[in-house]
Amino acid sequence: MSRFISEIKVDEEDLDIFNHVNNLVFIKYLERARFDWYNKHDFQIETLINKGLGFVLRNIEVSFIGEGRLGDVLTIETSPYKRGNTSFTMKQNISNQSGILITEAQTTSVMIDMNRRRPIPLIEEIGKHFG
């Protein structure tokens, strides 16, 4: 299974009133890293859409362990975890520049027929990455 590393630098707009990264911003970081993983593994979203295919996020579990601060360079590790009949699950970890784990997440996405808006079997282009 192939993991991928993304990096994001924390900007001022990412902070909340407590002067650390807002929890919703962490969700955005995780999404951006998943799309980095898709692009790295030749999942052209536009090609999927042209075929009438897509995937939707069904579930996300996030544990906020530490905090991100202004100027931090965060490393997001995204790895395939589990393959289902119509779904796939990714594990993601976010660490700061000191290597301290600050967020753990697991996401499950479901393959869908974009016209019928119904689940379909996971296509092999995605499934092959989930051992």
- How many domains does the chain fold into? 1
Please count the CA atoms within 13 angstroms of the CA of 101 that sit on its side-chain side: 10
Query: Can you give the CATH number for the domain in which 53 is found?
Result: 3.10.129.10
* Whole-number pLDDT of residue 1: 59
State the amino acid at position 121 in one-letter form: P
Q: Taking the complete model, does pTM exceed 0.85, yes or no? A: yes
The answer to whether the beta carbons of residues 107 and 60 sit under 8 Å apart is: yes
The answer to whether the beta carbons of residues 41 and 79 sit under 8 Å apart is: no
Domain that holds residue 88: 4-127
Which mean pLDDT values do the consecutive 10-residue runs of the chain (131 residues) have? 90 96 97 93 84 95 97 98 96 98 98 96 90 72
How far apart are alpha carbons 129 and 34 in whole angstroms?
13
Pick left, alpha or beta for residue 70 (phi over 0 → left; psi -120 to 50 → alpha; otherwise beta).
beta
Torsion of CA 77, 93, 125, 24, to 10 degrees: -110
* Whole-number pLDDT of residue 33: 97
* Whole-number pLDDT of residue 64: 97
Place of tokens 């931090």: 72
